[in-house]
Each structure stands twice: as structure tokens, then as C-alpha cells.
């Protein structure tokens, strides 16, 4: 089996979800709720956060949705609409934290060097904004190692649609039958299946447990295990 391209999710896949995102999510919720704790609790609970065990539900809005979908949810508890102004502020807060707070799940520069040495093209497809994704890659010092980057606002559709995978293939000239999609949520797996990717690989560094990722072809503890997986399936 020849894998010539790997398309990664970002949050919970390249970076530790809770460590990287909870500061941003908490700041944004408090900003829009004017620091009213009851409203903040309602907003976070409705979008997937459980404050009792400090976790985010697999497949929830905070785990897998894009910023517009989060804004739509939160606006129900606020005296504002989920308009372009709210979305711009949400993007601004998230992008600030993408650069300042992201925590990689492994040594990404070394891993990407290893994969590229095998002739594999690398891409990133996220439900975050494209600019937010690029800020994260810059903070992680891996910008130059990615051949393709897209977000929910890049014009290729949203997960779990096939468009992001198709755009990666078009940008790199690769056949979808040689593509591996890697992510921590069912949205990533369904995107892979909808696009006809060769492999859909789940990872356990995000908000999902193995039982949530049963539709994956393989489930890994961490993306650091990808080279070994490639060795075993070739």
C-alpha cells in the first residue's frame, strides 16, 4: 500500500486540545458574556464542555465545529447575533491563542522531516480559520513543511464534506487513493470516507476515545506512531 500524502487535522491531532484550546475558549466565552459566570457556563455546556470533569465531548461543537457554528450556538445565550462582527472577534481571540498557547503532541518538525524524507506530501485541514491554522503552524515552527493548509473559510467546504481532501489532492497532484487522513474526531473520518481516501486514521490525543473512532482504519495513540504504521502496512 503506497501512501504519498497525509492530510492532518489540527486540534487534538497536531496539538493537545485541552492545553491549547481551553484558554482561548474560556477567554472568548467570558468576553461575549461580559464575564457573567452563569451565562459562560451555559454557553460552554451547550457547545460541549463538561466543567465537572474538565472535558469536551467527542463530536461536540467545541471538538469538531467551525467558528461560525460555535458563534451560532453561543449567540442563543447572548443579546447579539452571530454576525460577521461576532465571528471576526471570535476569530481574533482564537488566532491570538493559536500563536501563544498551542502545545504540540510530539516533536512535529522531526516527525514531518521523517515523513517528507519518505516522499510524502503533508497537508492540514482544520475547522479553525485558515489564518488561525497558519498562526499555529508558525508557532510550532513547521510552516515550511506543509504543502497545503486550509480552514473552514478557505472555500473548500467544511468537514465532513470531501472538499478539503479534494483540494489537497488538486494542490499536490496526488491521487486520493494514496491519501491518508488523520484526525481525532468522526468529522475527520467521515471526510476521509466521503472523499474516497485510502486510509482514515484516528488518534487519541484529542476529545475522542477509541470507541468513538471505531470507523477508523487504524487508531493510534499519537501521530508520532505514523512512521511505524507506514512501515507495517507497506
The 10s digit of each residue's pLDDT in 82-132 is 999 999 999 999 988 877 789 999 999 999 999 999 999 999 999 999 998
For the segment 40-55, what is each residue's pLDDT rounded down to a tens digit?
999 999 999 999 999 9
For the chain, the domains span: 5-16+103-233, 17-100
- pTM summary value: 0.89
Regarding the domain with residue range 5-16+103-233, which homologous superfamily does it belong to in the CATH classification? HAD superfamily/HAD-like (3.40.50.1000)
- Mean pLDDT over residues 66-78, rounded? 95
- DSSP assignment letter at 180: E
For the segment 118-165, what is each residue's pLDDT rounded down to a tens digit?
999 999 999 999 998 999 999 999 999 999 999 999 999 999 999 999
87, 67 contact by CB (below 8 A): yes
Cis bond before residue 95 (omega within 30° of 0)? no
Provide φ and ψ at 7, rounded to 5°.
-105, 115
- Quick one: cell of 9? 487535522
Amino acid at each position: 500500500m503506497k501512501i504519498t500524502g497525509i492530510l492532518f487535522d489540527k486540534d487534538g491531532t497536531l496539538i493537545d486540545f485541552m492545553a491549547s484550546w481551553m484558554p482561548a475558549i474560556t477567554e472568548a466565552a467570558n468576553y461575549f458574556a461580559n464575564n457573567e459566570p452563569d451565562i459562560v457556563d451555559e454557553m460552554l455546556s451547550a457547545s460541549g464542555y463538561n466543567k465537572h470533569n474538565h472535558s469536551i465531548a467527542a463530536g461536540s461543537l467545541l471538538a469538531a465545529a467551525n467558528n461560525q457554528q460555535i458563534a451560532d450556538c453561543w449567540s442563543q445565550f447572548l443579546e447579539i447575533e452571530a454576525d460577521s462582527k461576532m465571528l471576526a472577534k471570535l476569530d481574533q481571540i482564537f488566532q491570538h491563542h493559536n500563536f501563544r498557547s498551542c502545545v504540540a503532541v510530539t516533536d512535529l518538525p522531526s516527525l514531518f522531516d521523517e515523513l517528507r524524507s519518505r516522499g510524502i506530501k503533508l497537508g492540514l485541514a482544520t475547522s479553525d480559520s485558515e489564518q488561525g491554522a497558519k498562526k499555529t503552524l508558525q508557532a510550532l515552527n513547521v510552516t515550511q513543511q506543509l504543502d497545503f493548509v486550509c480552514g473552514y473559510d478557505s472555500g473548500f467546504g467544511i468537514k465532513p464534506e470531501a472538499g478539503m481532501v479534494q483540494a489537497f489532492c488538486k494542490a499536490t497532484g496526488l491521487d486520493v487513493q494514496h491519501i491518508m487522513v488523520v484526525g481525532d474526531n468522526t468529522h475527520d473520518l467521515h471526510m476521509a470516507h466521503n472523499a474516497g481516501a485510502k486510509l482514515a486514521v484516528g488518534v487519541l490525543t484529542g476529545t475522542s476515545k477509541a470507541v468513538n473512532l471505531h470507523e477508523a482504519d487504524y487508531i493510534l495513540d499519537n501521530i508520532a506512531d505514523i512512521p511505524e504504521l507506514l512501515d507495517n502496512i507497506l
